[in-house]
Structure 1
Amino acid sequence: MKLVPLGDKVVLKQLQAEETTKSGIVLPGQAKEKPQQAEVIAVGPGGVVDGKEVTMQVKVGDKVIYSKYAGTEVKLEDEEFIVVKQNDIVAIVED
């Protein structure tokens, strides 16, 4: 199965949370916050959304940071994804 987003939607796969802090403290499972960093898995076509022309600025493979409470969580074939609007993505992480 494959998720194909519509309009200005983007499918993200969350990156794993760090198990230890920079100072070396190991975090138990419930203490870990879900990261707001994800990899772009699929991108919608853009086009006219709510009467405005939308050009997609992210592409598959980009690592991005998204708003904390954004999107819809989806579980598909034992994998979890988040579907967000492009304007819920706040930055692209460049190496």
Structure 2
Amino acid sequence: MAVNVQPLQNFVIVKPGKKEEMRSGIIIPDTAQEKGQEGEVVAVGPGRMGKDNARETMDVKVGDFVIYPKFGGTEIKVDGIDMVIMPENQILAKKIY
């Protein structure tokens, strides 16, 4: 998925995974639903400049599935899709398949 937003420095944009649907038929409004804590990386910045003026390498790349804190990052809308932008150091883990 290509997005028209390029994160700067060590920031990444994550598309949260789908939330589990309720099987009991109870409808919970979006404002009350718990936000996803895992998702797919859709854009990655070039990396932060180090003290020696060299770019630090990023540990994640586009297409990686990551786990992040419940209240991590800032929610944004890109092309009408809810996404989260956060610094790479807020990502807790990368899923390995």
* TM-score class normalised by the smaller sequence: 0.7 to 0.9
TM-score (norm 1): 0.80
Residue of structure 2 in register with 1:35 after alignment: 36
**Cα separation, 2, equivalents of 1:36 and 1:78:** 20
1:17 aligns with 2:19: yes
- Consecutive unaligned residues in structure 2, runs of 5 or more: none
SS at match of 1:48: coil
Mapping for residues 74-93 of structure 1, pairs under 5 Å: 74-93=76-95
Q: CA deviation at 1:72?
A: 1.1
Q: Which runs of 5 or more residues in structure 1 are unaligned? A: none
**Preserved contact between residue 7 and residue 46 of structure 1 (Cα < 8 Å):** yes
Q: Secondary structure at the match of 1:18?
A: coil
Aligned length: 91
Residues 65 and 27 of structure 1: CA distance in aligned 2, closer, same or farther (over 3 Å): farther
CA RMSD of aligned residues (A): 2.2
Please list every run of at least 4 consecutive aligned residues from structure 1 whose deviation after the TM superposition is greater than 4 angstroms.
24-27
TM-aligned CA distance change 1:77 to 1:91, over 3 Å: same
Structure-2 change in CA distance of 1:25 and 1:54 (3 Å)? farther
